[in-house]
Amino acid sequence: MKTQMMVIAMMGVSMLVVGLVIYAMADQLSGIARLLSPLAPISVAAYIYVNNLMQNAGPDALRGPALLKTIDEVFRQVLVGGILFIVIAFLMLGSLIIWQMGSPSSG
C-alpha cells in the first residue's frame, strides 16, 4: 500500500512538473505541439504498468539484487512494446495507403 501511494504521488508530481514546463514553454513548443499529444495516454499507461509491476513483483523488487532484475525486466518489456508499437503503426499506415490507392479519387 505504501508503494502504491508513493507511485501515485510521484506520478502526480511528474505530471505537474511536465505540465508547468509545457505551459511555460508554450511559444517554443507551438511548432511541435502535435508531437506532445500522446503524452497523456502514455503517462496513464506508464502509471498502470508500474502499478501492476509492483503488485506482481512485491515490495522487495526495488531492493538489493532484485532491483537489477526489475530494471532488466522493465527494459525488455518496454523494448518489445516499442518495437511492436512501431510495427503495428506502420502496418496500419501501410493499409491506409493501400486503401487510399484503391479508392477512386475524389474531385
Residues 9 and 35 in one domain: yes
* pLDDT at residue 106 in the model: 52
pLDDT for 11 equals 79
Q: Is the pTM of this model over 0.85?
A: no
DSSP reduced 3-state for 100: helix
Cα–Cα distances (Å) from 57 to 19, 48, 80, in that order, read 30, 14, 19
Q: Among residues 43, 62, 81, which one ends one of the domains?
A: 62
- Predicted confidence (pLDDT) per residue in 48-85, tens digit: 888 788 788 777 777 888 888 888 988 999 999 999 99
pLDDT at 84: 95
How many residues comprise the chain? 107
For residues 84 and 37, state if they share a domain.
no
Indicate if 55 and 70 belong to the same structural domain: no
**Phi/psi class of residue 106: alpha, beta or left (left: φ > 0; alpha: ψ in -120 to 50)?**
beta
Domain boundaries, position 73: 64-107
Domain count, the chain: 2
Number of Cβ within 10 Å of residue 102's Cβ equals 7
- Tell me phi and psi for residue 64, to 5 degrees: 60, -140
Query: pLDDT-derived band of residue 28, with 50, 70 and 90 as boundaries?
Result: confident
